[in-house]
Amino acid sequence: MPETETVETGGGERKYTGRVFPYRDPQTLGPIEVGEGIITVGEREQIIRTLESRTFPQAGKRRSGAEGAALLTGLIYCAVPGCGRRMHRVGGSYQCMARRAGNQCIGASAPAETVDNYVTEQFLTKLSTLEPDDPLLAVIVERRLRRAAPEVFAKRDALTAEIRVVEARTADLEDARYVRGEFHGLAAVDRYNRLSERLRERAEGLRTDLHKLRVPSVDVSPVFDGPTLRKEWANVTNEDRRSRLSLAIDQVYVAKGRRGRRIIADQRIEIHWAK
């Protein structure tokens, strides 16, 4: 059962913040559950990712075969100041969708083949030269693991979030007694002790459950082997290439060029590596 957080406004009223938490029993502080879920947490995560991969601006309009097969769909953005909207392949070029929709943007565009080739080469070179202590390596490994075991990581994330909620409630309870002085008399102190103990037991239980959720091992060595990666790259679909790119790249930004001038990739294309 959900419970929506509220905050007090300057006028003494309360408004909803949009943050929703499980409803908790006021005595046990544990979440109240009604019935069983139709799908598992892992299945939910998989459905969300599948829907995101199929979601595009101007949904409902028919997309061309080139657009659906475009290498950087979902990763490429307009770098015009104040815009930052997604770009999509239209014909032989990537174009800013804000410009095509008539919004206030001068509209970046660039030859799709040039952008694809540049990003691909940067990606393949980057991965084959990563050092063991490179932060990008850790991000790639984590993302690969999350895709291999979505249900495990979804449960870990849920447990971690719950632990933070319990820790916040514990801190608030301590403030209520020692800062705000809300517990007076033996009965109130006894109630405080019971609540504090329940929160402590809840936190310990959640940490134990989190510890039991072992992260599976996944062989990621092929991802960083240059010759193997390049060989596989030539034999997979753009969908699979996009999936691999998204392990290491969050966004690709393309700046506005000058009409009639040849594109210099490293001057107009900026890759934001995953963090």
What's the sign of the alpha-carbon dihedral 94, 97, 98, 99?
positive
Amino acid sitting at position 104: Q
How confident is residue 151, by pLDDT bands cut at 50, 70 and 90? confident
Tokens of 233: 């790259």
Asked whether residue 62 carries a pLDDT value surpassing 70, the answer given is: no
DSSP bridge pairs for 31: 24
Q: Please state, rounded to an integer, the average pLDDT across all residues of the chain.
A: 80
| Domain end call among 214, 247, 264 | 214
Residues 192-203 pLDDT 10s = 999 999 999 999
Give yes or no: residues 238 and 143 share one domain: yes
Looking at residues 96-120, what average pLDDT do you find? 84
Give yes or no: residues 105 and 167 share one domain: no
- The pLDDT of residue 229 is 81
Asked whether residue 172 carries a pLDDT value surpassing 90, the answer given is: yes
Exposure letters 230-265 (e unless 16+ CB within 10 A, then b): eeeeeeeeeeebbebbebbbebbbbebbeeeeebeb
Closest CA to 250 of 78, 75, 126, 104: 75
How confident is residue 215, by pLDDT bands cut at 50, 70 and 90? confident
Give yes or no: residues 105 and 201 share one domain: no
Q: Taking CA 131 as the corner, what is the angle to CA 125 and CA 136, rounded to the nearest 5 degrees?
A: 75
Asked whether residue 254 carries a pLDDT value surpassing 70, the answer given is: yes
Asked whether residue 267 carries a pLDDT value surpassing 60, the answer given is: yes
In the block, residue with structure tokens 């499980």: 22
| 36-45, 137-146, 176-185, 241-250: segment of lowest average pLDDT | 36-45
Give yes or no: residues 86 and 142 share one domain: yes
Share of the chain above pLDDT 90, in %: 37
Domain count, the chain: 2
The larger pLDDT score, comparing residue 8 to residue 264, is at 264
Contact status, residue 250 vs residue 273, Cβ threshold 8 Å: yes
Give yes or no: residues 203 and 247 share one domain: no
Contact status, residue 41 vs residue 151, Cβ threshold 8 Å: yes
Tokens of 190: 């006894």
Give yes or no: residues 139 and 129 share one domain: yes
How confident is residue 76, by pLDDT bands cut at 50, 70 and 90? very high
Give yes or no: residues 138 and 257 share one domain: yes
The values of phi and psi at residue 77, to 5°, are -135, 160
Write out the residue range of the structural domain in which residue 181 sits.
150-214
Does residue 16 fall inside a structural domain? Answer: no
The larger pLDDT score, comparing residue 130 to residue 216, is at 130
Does residue 237 fall inside a structural domain? Answer: yes
Q: How far apart, in whole angstroms, are the C-alpha atoms of residue 154 and residue 224?
A: 26
Does residue 76 fall inside a structural domain? Answer: yes
Pairing of strands 76-78, 2-8: unpaired
What's the sign of the alpha-carbon dihedral 19, 22, 27, 30?
negative
The larger pLDDT score, comparing residue 5 to residue 130, is at 130
| Domain end call among 184, 214, 244 | 214
Contact status, residue 97 vs residue 108, Cβ threshold 8 Å: no
Does residue 180 fall inside a structural domain? Answer: yes
Does residue 178 fall inside a structural domain? Answer: yes
